[in-house]
Chain A
Amino acid sequence: MFRQVAHRLLTRSTTNHSACAAATILRPYSTDVSTDASSGDSAFVEAWKKVAPNIDPPKTPIQFMEPRPPTPSTLPSKLTVNFVLPYAAELSKAEVDMVIVPATTGQMGILPGHVPTIAELKPGLLSVHEGNDVKKYFISSGFAFVHSNSYADILAVEAIPLDRIDPAQVQKGLSEFTQKLNSASTDLDKAEAQIGVDVHSALNSALTG
């Protein structure tokens, strides 16, 4: 009888909390909320307490981020790459040998020990080299930060692995936008058509090159 009661209690508690449990399944994801780091900016907390002593000060983003490691004294062997998109973290703390990013000034290769850089990216090919493995993505524009501790952050708005791109569509788009560019009248139309042409020709060269 006790076994039955216990079983019933167990099923009842699981069904009651099924909605909550489903929403908070413990799955390991790289973008976890860790209330790590210090208790925030002390000057801010001080100023807050003077103005609103009864309300807890709000948290700030630095409290939710793991602190980055300091610059090592010797050259690290691997580059740690965070490749993030608005809808996913494509690579999170991946240790790789090299990445090649399409900066506005041309393709830029990033190796461990690269000087700290802020690079603006244009639509183009991004390749991640790990040993003999090369992963290629076509990214729309974004930014790339290289820090002195051999951490590279690449942010892009869209990234697609190359094998998902349809070459026929690319050609069609390219001809369409070239036509629009030729027939564009206002500056805004010209700029938009130019952007389309740029993206499609970059896609073209990424597919062929």
Chain B
Amino acid sequence: MRKQRFASNETAAKPTSTTPTQKRKFKLGKFLFSITLLSGLAYGGAVYYSLKDDKFRDNFTENIYGAKQVVDYVEDLQRQGVFYDMKKKVWRIGSKYINLPELSEDNISSDKISEFTSKENPIIRKLSDTIRELDNFMVNHDLKHAGGKILSRARDELRNLSNNIDQLKADEQDLCQKKLEEQNEKYNQIIDKYENSMDQQIKDKEFALKQQFDQEKRELYEQHYTQLNAELSRQASEHDKELKNELVRQAVDMQRRWVRDVMIMVEKERNGRLAKLDYINKRLKTLERFCIDNTENLDASIKVHRLWCALKSLQNIVEQPHRTPFIEQIVAMRRYFSTDEVVSAVLSTIDDSVAINGIDSVSDLSKRFNTVREEVRRASLVPENGGVFSHLLSFVLSKILFRKHGLVDGNDVEAILARVQYYLNKNDLDTAARELNQLEGWPKKLANDWIISARNHLEVKQAIEVIETQATLSCLSIA
């Protein structure tokens, strides 16, 4: 049992296993074909339904691509009656093979009946409806053979009835027409009568209107005439007023001018005297200015004189052979020349201690230099950080050093000293001090005071020179 089942299963499985690839290919074609067929059918059904139902038609034509063209085309065909012809053809062809003659006739008769229904008579319509119902009923119950003759008879009678009705209608129409013509004639007469009376009335009215028009024209003319007169008189009066105003203004102007002329004359007379006063005032002012200028000049010259005096005294003191204090002169000068910037600046450079102690003269300095020179010589061989023994050694050995004289070159102590001596001999303190400044180490320390003193001397001398030039300048600038 199991084996058989297995075998059947296998055999059942085999065809399925062998045909999956074939099925795939086959399936695709069939699938596509069925899809296109179904969609075509759906499309055709939608078109047919849209012919019947307007709402569906709108939806369909709007949303589906190409639906509108198809539906319009189908409707055109319907209007042209292509479908009706096709239906007739089909039924004719069909009737040859199948028994449909009665039905076609019935169909035709039903169409003819529908013609009748187009007439407005409701009774005939009802009758035709009932006959159609009967026809349908017979068709539905396969009784066409039996009732066909009856139906044709009914049809003939219906036709007679309709003809009768048509005849009656035509008669009635003729009668109405005749009556209408009579009425027409009567009314035309009435209209003519009335027309005449209307013409007469119109003519009367025209005449009355013309009269009215003439009267109004005359009235307007009179009105205008009076207005014009009034306007003219008003303008004339205005003009008169203006002329009067103008006259008054001119009179006033002339009066004013006359008054002004008189005033000018009077002023001139007065100005004669005033001008004299003015002149005197001016002279006085110039005199004042002269006076002030004079006093200013005098003050300035006094100042310059004072400056010169002080300067001279200072120079005197500085030239003294020995140290003399000149602090008083400096103080006095400071007091006098607090306004003069240059002088006060120069005076401020001079130290008070210098002024109090006085400065050494050149001769004093030269003398002092001798001692300084000796000391420097003694310390000339001391090294940078020398102690007792180096000092002792230098003291001893300097005694055997050679002395130099005159303007010699070289940067050693002896040469410098010789040069300084030379400059001092020439009374050139400035260069001497500069030279001595070139010493180094212990010799410099020893010579420091001398250098400072010489510097003070030179500074004071320079200050005096500056003040001297300033004094000459101010002296010249006054004049």
* Real binding pair: no
Partner-A contacts on B (CB < 8 A): none
